[in-house]
Amino acid sequence: MPDEAEEWTAETFMQFVMTPRRRARPRVAEPLRGAADFDIDTPTGKIAAWRLGEGPAILCVHGWEDDNALWGPFIDTCAQIGRAAVALDLPAHGFSEGEWCPAPDAASAIRAVADALGPIDALVAHSFGGPASVMAMTEGLEVKRAAFIACPLGRMRRWKRIGRELGVSDEIIEAARALYAQSFGARANIDVAEFAPSMRAQALYVHSADDEQVELSNSREAAAAWPGAELLVVDDLGHRLIAQEPAIIDRVVMFLDGA
């Protein structure tokens, strides 16, 4: 973030939005402590990943400024029914290398982990991990079932929210978005509702009505556009807690396991 005496520029704001804050000490989900761990090579650096169990696995993708530890209770439930799970830390998160985490790099990391640690037949994603996973699916990641928990549509709406919170002018925000588009070309834009009609995986969207970070309308619109998608709306679980709520985990695991 610029010093008080400095002004935001398109470049400094773009860098700020794409740079997650890391925890002081990276962490590993408890059920993954005895799992096989890997460093997967990608063009943006090594990606930390773990695999627990044999056979087709559920790929677990965390959200912004989170890490593999989000999925501890979920992976425990998978293990109880004999379902394999793969988890990763996205670029610039947890144990993974990198300073930035633009969505195209996140999508590339997801694909790289799936290719290296497959077979993968299902996916669960939380928050920012959702649109990044959808981008990965449009670029070759194949899963039969996908669950999206508290996920935004993309569309770079987060940029405007953050910019206004920081007092960044609309002109600088738009200039930063244009610079981002110039840097990543066709991969810069994620619009889940636009991609959804071409998706073949069966999908489940889960969202809490009181989500303080991502409005419920995001999941409503995505589910409506995705052929045959289910939408589960709950309340009083907020944005992150919903991914660790036992009843939600049971529902998602049953869906991803084909029940």
Q: Is 50 within 8 Å of 87 (Cβ atoms)?
A: yes
**Residue 187's pLDDT is what?**
87
Segment 2-39, tens digit of pLDDT: 655 468 999 999 999 999 999 989 999 999 998 999 99
**Residue 5's pLDDT is what?**
40
**Residue 6's pLDDT is what?**
63
Go through the domains of the chain in sequence order and give each one's CATH number: 10-256 (3.40.50.1820)
Q: Is 152 within 8 Å of 160 (Cβ atoms)?
A: no
**Cα–Cα distances in Å, from 215 out to 146, 203, 212?**
20, 19, 7
Segment 136-173, tens digit of pLDDT: 999 999 999 999 999 999 877 788 889 999 999 999 99
**Residue 245's pLDDT is what?**
98
Stated length of the chain? 259
Segment 188-221, tens digit of pLDDT: 888 999 999 999 999 999 999 999 999 999 999 9
**Residue 157's pLDDT is what?**
78
Which candidate, 204, 36, 212, 59, places its Cα nearest to that of 121? 59
Rounded to the nearest 10 degrees, how much is the dihedral formed by the CA atoms of 195, 197, 201, 207? Answer: 80
Residue 128: exposure state from Cβ atoms within 10 A (0-12, 13-18, ≥19): buried
**Residue 160's pLDDT is what?**
87
Tokens representing 152 are 């935004």
Segment 49-90, tens digit of pLDDT: 999 999 999 999 999 999 999 999 999 999 999 999 999 999
User: pLDDT band for position 259 (50/70/90)?
Assistant: low
Q: Is 147 within 8 Å of 252 (Cβ atoms)?
A: yes
Rounded to the nearest 10 degrees, how much is the dihedral formed by the CA atoms of 72, 161, 167, 185? Answer: 100
Which candidate, 168, 173, 157, places its Cα nearest to that of 215? 157
pTM: 0.94
